[in-house]
Amino acid sequence: YISSAIDLVQQNIWIGGLLALSILLLFLRSILPTIVIFAAIPVSVIGTFVAIAGLGLSINVISLAGLAFAVGMVVDASIVSLENIFRLRQRGMPSDVAAYHGARQVWAPILGSALTTVIVFIPVLLLELPVGQLFRDIGIAISVAVLISVVVSVTVIPALAARLLGGSADKYQRLLPVPGLDHLARAFARMIVSYARLTVNRSLVGLIVVAVVVAGAAGFTARFMPQLDYLPDGNANFAFGRIFTPPGYSMDETLRIAEKMESAARPLWEEEVAPDGPPAIERFFFVAFPGGAFAGASAVDPNRVSELQMVLMRPIFSEPGAGAFVRQASLFGRSVGGSRSIRIDISGPNRDAVLPIAYRVNERIAELFPRTEGNQVRAIPNLDNGAPQIRITPDLNALARAGVSVRDVSSAVDVFNDGSNVIQIPINGELIDLVVAGKDATNLTAAQLSDIPIVTRGGNILRLGQLAKIDIVSAPEQIRRIGGRQAMSLQLRPNSSLPLEQAVAKIEQEIINEIRDIAGDAGVTVSLNGAASALNATWQAMQANVLIALGVIFLLMVVLLRNFVLPLIILLAVPVAAAGGIGGLAFLNVFIQQPLDMLTMLGFVILTGVVVNNAILMIEQAMLHIREENMDISEAVIEATRNRVRPIFMSTLTSLFGLVPLVIFPGAGAELYRGLGVVVFGGLGLSTLATLIIVPPLLAMALRSPFAGRVTQRSNLDAV
């Protein structure tokens, strides 16, 4: 599985890179500029491998997925740099002059855009939760690749451009036409520029449009936000099951139940399997032991291994008191329930207080989460009354009259029951236990225990029955304690179609709230743990991380733009990106089930830092026109929109097409990053359009307002 997953993500990196190259070639229509930009991919990827090795980290499926995401992102800075150089070259500048001025004009927004992408991962890197390691692998891979791409865009790209884009400027003024596509592109660009001209000159229209876009995005997000899941289990080709038998079952009876599971599965590897039936089994095993058994199976078709769960569970349903817990092997949860296991802990002063509440909770779980729908429940320890046990209670008065201690009685019982270790004797350099045992020590019946002889200190021989009371009682095989209190736990694994958040809400509202008063009167507490508590902690941390990232991005933009209003315009792209991410996830679920798990949620964190980049470039371009070309505000905003439409769509489409293989190609490990990829794809695509709608009217209004301050004046950085 691991090898297949790594092979798939490496394939995605290659295909994503080739798709990104195709988009660059489509926009630039020239081999040399395309080669210049494409150089950023191998340099950044190789540099990232070196950095990961230097940090002592491993190359794994998650970090490789981060690199696959970065393939489309690392060319963004190079696109902005080269496109500006290319634009100046088309105006007739010599290649070396165009390379210098082109890189100088955009280095600050390129750096700012890269820092926003990197900054969002800082809270994630400090996350002290089980999912933190997964997030760190992706965060470090993307951050290092993006930072290296910034260095490439202001060093390698201008140097290559000055050398490769030399010669007459005429050859760059007319590009190879693509009929149909060019007409659509020009029509779209004219529409965007016309919209910018309209909203810049008529502020009220722009405000209404922006309000509708932002409010619509917020409303869509609130309405269609799916319920949460914790972590994907993975799609490893292995189904693992555990069989639980009632206390007291003999080994032969346990073996019979396990063989019943084997008999149900046997036709799937011995006979021809129907196309519409369960999948063929490639390997199967089971191991029986006192108290239960475990079994495992893999499918000939790895994509259908989940269907084996009901095949293995169904035979156990007809066994009174027995149960089975079967799941597809999880990558992130090694317990029987995997990463979607909800544990309901019921603790109290003693077993008698806990047991009635546990029975009540178990009954309600069976009603709300039927086993026939693929839900699985396990009690820890077993809810049965317990196994028969022999209890020997010494009669202290009888012992005192006979002059026998409790230790003497227990030693005698050990000797005649299963033997007692007396001393270790060295023989041939090894210590050998000397065991004293009765001749029928291993074959005593319960009735014969009372006849065990006890020798008093006076030399008399008494029977055990004269010195102790012997009872056959029912007692639990296991005593579980949580926080020093006796406890029982019910482990629930909901079926894969039920989000973990929905299952937790159903348990809290329809079970815990219902029995809280009854449990409280008995001194019993009921709490949710396992994946339920992990999901809650991770979700709270993720929300806090997004807010911290937004705050840090805002402060960074204030420093870069020297203004407190313009960063707010830039951040309006974030709610639109969230709506796009949710829309992309909903579209994917039409074809394949993809829950909003915590790895998928990381896509929204990535979007927070990525979607602001286009707005930064547009605002910086407008500032450039005002400071260096003395344009008025309206003309500068319209010209910045016209100049930035092409590079914005070039960088966005390269990023989107770099993500396509991660979203559409199935295989081992794809479920780990598919959701993350479709969230970034949908959010980046929609926010790009929204940026062209939101920024022009609000930017013009902000620059005309008293809040603009000295933002349009030439700074020392610009003069460098």
290-294, 398-402, 415-419, 558-562: which is most confident: 398-402
At residue 272, the pLDDT reads 84
At residue 441, the pLDDT reads 64
Domains annotated for the chain, with CATH where assigned, are 2-176+188-224+562-719 (1.20.1640.10), 237-329 (3.30.70.1430), 387-475 (3.30.2090.10)
Tell me the pLDDT band of 716, cut-offs 50, 70 and 90: very low
pLDDT in tens, 456-474: 877 888 888 888 888 887 7
What is this structure's pTM? 0.77
Tell me the pLDDT band of 496, cut-offs 50, 70 and 90: confident
At residue 713, the pLDDT reads 57
Exposure string for 123-139, b = 16+ CB within 10 A, e = fewer = bbeebeebbbebbbbbb
Give percent above pLDDT 70 in the chain. Answer: 93
Over residues 138-159, the mean pLDDT reads 87
pLDDT in tens, 623-681: 888 887 888 889 999 998 988 888 888 888 888 888 888 888 777 767 777 888 899 99
Q: Is the dihedral of CA 452, 458, 460, 465 positive or negative?
A: negative
- State how far the Cα of 671 lies from the Cα of 665, in Å rounded to an integer: 10
Over residues 103-115, the mean pLDDT reads 83
Pick the residue with more confidence: 121 or 687? Answer: 687
For residue 143, pLDDT over 60 is answered with yes
Exposed / middle / buried, residue 411 (Cβ in 10 Å: 0-12, 13-18, 19+) = middle
At residue 499, the pLDDT reads 87
Structure tokens at 496: 């894969």
pLDDT in tens, 23-78: 878 877 778 778 877 788 888 888 888 888 888 877 777 777 777 777 777 878 88
Tell me the pLDDT band of 387, cut-offs 50, 70 and 90: low
For residue 209, pLDDT over 90 is answered with yes
Over residues 335-345, the mean pLDDT reads 70
Cis geometry, peptide bond prior to residue 381 (ω within 30 degrees of 0): yes
Q: Which of 56-70, 214-228, 288-302, 492-506 has the lowest mean pLDDT?
A: 56-70
Tell me the pLDDT band of 227, cut-offs 50, 70 and 90: confident
DSSP annotation of 372: G
**Cβ atoms < 10 Å from Cβ of 200:** 24
271 Cβ neighbours under 8 A, 6+ residues apart: none
Tell me the pLDDT band of 274, cut-offs 50, 70 and 90: confident
Mean predicted lDDT score pLDDT of the chain: 83
At residue 173, the pLDDT reads 57
83-87, 266-270, 541-545: which is most confident: 266-270
- State how far the Cα of 655 lies from the Cα of 106, in Å rounded to an integer: 19
H or E segment and range at residue 462: strand 461-463
- State how far the Cα of 392 lies from the Cα of 398, in Å rounded to an integer: 14
Nearest residue to 45 via CA among 63, 26, 22, 61: 63
94-98, 99-103, 125-129, 203-207: which is most confident: 203-207
Identify whether the C-beta of residue 606 lies closer than 8 Å to the C-beta of residue 135.
Answer: no
Residues written for the chain: 720
- State how far the Cα of 673 lies from the Cα of 492, in Å rounded to an integer: 26
